[in-house]
Structure 1
């Protein structure tokens, strides 16, 4: 992969700089309810303003109907929130494709890019119009890098100069570092581990296959583990699993065993006959599950084994909860794992909506931990799948003119 051109390598002074950011944040009663993604953009925004650039921000919010201006998805609350964070006016511009008046050292925000009919279609005309508004196009929306949209894909191709912001570059570097496996020279030392949970194997086929090649220890939990347990020949009762993917689970276990790697699966589980806040639960080994029971969390022995593996790792990639943590009776497994990560000396890279929710719920806060702003983009990058924005950025770096 060609080295990406980064924003700090480009002269920004007195230039029109368009920065594609990801401020698609949760809203409640017309106000921003979680500003993590907005705050993540602040350093690059301040860098551009300090360099005396005329800054134009582009982002989307939600999924409005194309070519319809639905005020529910207006960026006005986001512009207002950003203004408070910057202590600086952030005008919201609705009519911007034919030109934007913004002075050096100032910034504006363009109204929801998804109001434009051509955005989701990766329309060449819209992409050209966006590129013509600036001298430098900064792709800084890693969370949108898996989408081939006009503002995240073709606008890069048409831009006079296209680069990535430090946030985007950091995402790539942090996730890559969690996957860089140098432990082959140290067979007795666990260096890189991955914790993968969630409900379905089908949503993470490529992720699991890719991680099996890139880590020493693959720790499986959540509903995903049920398919693997079924593949081992155990009755899993009424538990969620994917019968058509049992063979994949078996093959993945065999593959990792041949490579002298570890694939850790639950040896015991928390079962119940219903999923609710008032469920009666029982912890039992995986060979004791009854026909009317469901597996809804990892058991106590498994929690200990997984915690020990986390303690031994020096770098951990985490995606997905280990059980139905939204419900108190089934939150212990995910809570225990987050506590192990909190106490571990390992560098941790985490991503995915449910993972971030678990981090917040169980207060996993560490200075050396990196939480990705990407959901689908995080999964695709870890899975070694193409990110259209990254492909275009590499092409632009190789063919700048």
Structure 2
């Protein structure tokens, strides 16, 4: 960015800001910037001097760094435009609380919107309960601790004009005072119809493309692959499941930098198991779900509130009572079916930048008319 100028009837400039340029949280900020660009000129910023999150290379939107002189940078941005500036803050983790407080005083005409796409405090609570080591890593002095996250989000809420959530189910976790609000799910640019690139195997392929954690359900992928040699597992290399064993000839590892739509074209069924029943995991909207739906890949996923809300009838619920053999049979059946078409239709209706921008536009128009 900056994006090209939009039509003259657009009233807003957007500044999307993330708390860490080296974190996968930047992915949510990138998604927000895609939505914002559907409404008006947009720039994306994130704090930090470390190397940028590797996943950013999958997207066309460039993130700019904010450093110790961020106050001057933001003041300059606001003065450049005769439109109203919207500061859209991703996740609300420090130092975004200090930034929001500063904006509320230094740029009083700006609109401040807090975006929440996870129960990050809930995820932090679950993390420290896993081990003493985790408790030390995420002690209360760290900005990623549950207490610090809640404090920062509360400070932003006091000066925010509105809120966006990745799902309505997630919004139910947060205080009812976080109003007015709009639902803005994760989005992807529409790539249209993409010819399938056959995987290097005649077998049915299943996979989960992204970072995987065996203790949170992804161990099922390995179990399925090793108990059903007629099924081929497709993942990115170094995904978190370890290295293929000598006998794992039915495990294909793709380059981590392969474009997502190309990777998904090699997957017959997308498997998204979630065994963590904590609120953090249950209300998380997996980016894997959106990527699968964009590519028209049938989805077999744990029926969490967030997944059920966003995917609706366009996915097949993965029941915890099923044995691995029964899950394998579901995968074979889905590979022959047409549920991927439903997933693609749901994506077009809900998960493109233009589709998601509708509710955001309504929220901003309402806020603009009140001031």
**Do Structure 1 and Structure 2 share a fold, with TM-score over 0.5?**
no
TM-score normalised by length of structure 2: 0.34
Query: Whose Rg is larger?
Result: 1
